[in-house]
Amino acid sequence: MKADAKKTIEQGKAVLGIEFGSTRIKAVLVDTENRPIAQGSHEWENQLADGLWTYSTEAIWSGLQQCYADLQADVRRLYGVEIIKLGGIGISAMMHGYMPFNAAGELLVPFRTWRNTNTGRAAAELSELFVFNIPLRWSISHLYQAILEDEPHVRDIAFLTTLAGYIHWKLTGEKVLGVGDASGMLPVDSATCDYSAGMTRIFDSILANRKLPFRLEEILPRVLTAGVEAGRLTAEGAALLDVSGKLEAGVPFCPPEGDAGTGMVATNAVRKRTGNVSAGTSSFSMIVLEKELSKPYEEIDMVTTPDGAPVAMVHCNNCTSDLNAWVGLFKEYQQLLGVEVDMNDLFGKLYNAALEGDPDCGGLLAYNYFSGEPVVGLADGRPLFVRSATDRFNLANFMRANLYASVAVLKIGNDILFNEEKVGVDRLTGHGGLFKTPGVGQRILAAALNSPISVMETAGEGGAWGIALLASFMVSNPDRQTLPKWLDEQVFKGNEGVEISPVAKDVAGFNAYIESYRCGLAIEKAAIENKSC
């Protein structure tokens, strides 16, 4: 297999996927059988500047270059060759956000990420105008908020895109976006796989009333579906990506996508009645619908798969950050005692200890809100741990409460889909950091959603592998199979993953926990309102 992988790289047939996650940029190289054969990564972190979460353009490009250099080093180490040609490339990144450019291609304000919750008025007004739930983090919310606040840069906007769209543009010269990522800018009509014509007209009337010198279709990226070639690597793009100068231009690119879409691909969850849950810095669930929901819900976002099928998405701004911070505290304690720390071992022991706790966590409550959480109506956040003197306070219950907290908001949103809309799901697949300790995250999520949860070995490759698969789908699908069929037959055949079913006492315990959790949101709200204390 190693010899085959080397030959694939030397022949320029390997396909590359790169994803910009919240804390890590990852590259995955796959062979002609769609198996990962090399990878690279680069750690990065957002910054709070002038009250808004951002990543600088310098961090974006240096991060991309260091990630690709790490991939090159992995290829040299494993196969003793250099990457000169590639069969295809795909770019993915965290969805939504706001990157407006002027006619000269200059970024007008620092990148505003999905994490910002300053768009409350805009999202509320647009939701009413469109009769469609418009989340705070969507690009159209950011644009309208900037218009409402009379930000001077708005008049100069010539192009508005997402992080994935920006990187793709600079590498290929093409101002396009995959339909999944586009559906996080402005609602998409699954029948046309393009922006909603009706909502575009409504917003254009706003622009005209404000005497702004553009229409929406003039500044948004062109929408493309999976399987379509979306441009080729230019000489300038090759120099941006590979500072060593070895990579040749001309590589075809698939449409750039968001991390939600690539997560669906990486877990084979693009067919109707399938879904996936991504649980890392943030969390979200995606369920491919058989039909539209009966009405809009503030807690539910309507997006699409990379091939345009309607998807109900529950997006939570917070997931494992607070949990990781507590594990970090235990690491410090071990170091204080002079004990050598293996973080994988520490996570494993603490996570498994949680399974020994009471199903209702002994009354303990945790709120993991590093930032605002729109699903529960909070525009800001403050991590909290809450208990009374009579609660059963021990390590197992403490860890269980924090694990429950990581998926509590996800449960609140999905309860609407399952209980009110009666959405049917044949398979839910989990991926992300919460599932790294075998069995634990699965069991917690199964209890929260009262549904079996599968985890595949390949899911650990994440969205970078997902976007590599989309690039492979573009270049190696001569029979023009649909994306669901291609994934079933060419990638996941015989791989259903390991499934864990909900345990009745866990489900009852989580339901008890969530009732207390809902009541305790008043405590969280008070803490937010009194942050200066």
- Residue 18 belongs to a domain: yes
Q: Quick one: 79 and 103 in the same domain?
A: yes
Q: Which two tokens stand for residue 225?
A: 């579906």
- Residue 495 belongs to a domain: no
Q: What is the pLDDT of residue 459?
A: 52
Q: What is the pLDDT of residue 1?
A: 73
- Residue 187 belongs to a domain: yes
115, 118, 114, 140: which is closest to 127 by C-alpha?
140
pTM: 0.87
Q: Quick one: 431 and 366 in the same domain?
A: yes
Q: Quick one: 254 and 337 in the same domain?
A: no
409, 404, 491: which is closest to 446 by C-alpha?
404
Q: Quick one: 300 and 246 in the same domain?
A: no
b/e per residue 495-509 (b: at least 16 CB within 10 A): eebeebebeeebbeb
Q: Quick one: 131 and 218 in the same domain?
A: yes
On the CB side of 510, CA atoms within 13 Å amount to 28
Q: Report residues of the chain scoring pLDDT below 70.
A: 458-461, 532-533
Q: Quick one: 141 and 277 in the same domain?
A: no
- Residue 238 belongs to a domain: yes
| Cβ contact 430:442 at 8 Å | yes
How many beta carbons lie within 10 A of that of residue 338, not counting itself?
6
Q: Quick one: 218 and 319 in the same domain?
A: no
- Residue 89 belongs to a domain: yes
| Cβ contact 320:434 at 8 Å | yes
364, 376, 398, 258: which is closest to 318 by C-alpha?
376
On the CB side of 483, CA atoms within 13 Å amount to 27
Backbone angles phi, psi at 177, to 5 degrees: -155, 140
- Residue 482 belongs to a domain: no
- Residue 443 belongs to a domain: yes
Q: What is the pLDDT of residue 24?
A: 92
- Residue 483 belongs to a domain: no
Q: What is the pLDDT of residue 189?
A: 94
Q: Quick one: 373 and 254 in the same domain?
A: no
Q: Which domain range does residue 55 map to? A: 2-258
Number of structural domains the chain divides into: 2
Q: Please, where are the H alpha helices in 297-434? A: 321-336, 343-354, 395-415
Q: Quick one: 282 and 331 in the same domain?
A: yes
Q: Quick one: 222 and 274 in the same domain?
A: no
Q: Quick one: 24 and 126 in the same domain?
A: yes
Q: What is the pLDDT of residue 503?
A: 95
Q: What is the pLDDT of residue 436?
A: 87
Question: What CATH number is given to the structural domain containing 124?
Answer: 3.30.420.40
Q: What is the pLDDT of residue 462?
A: 77
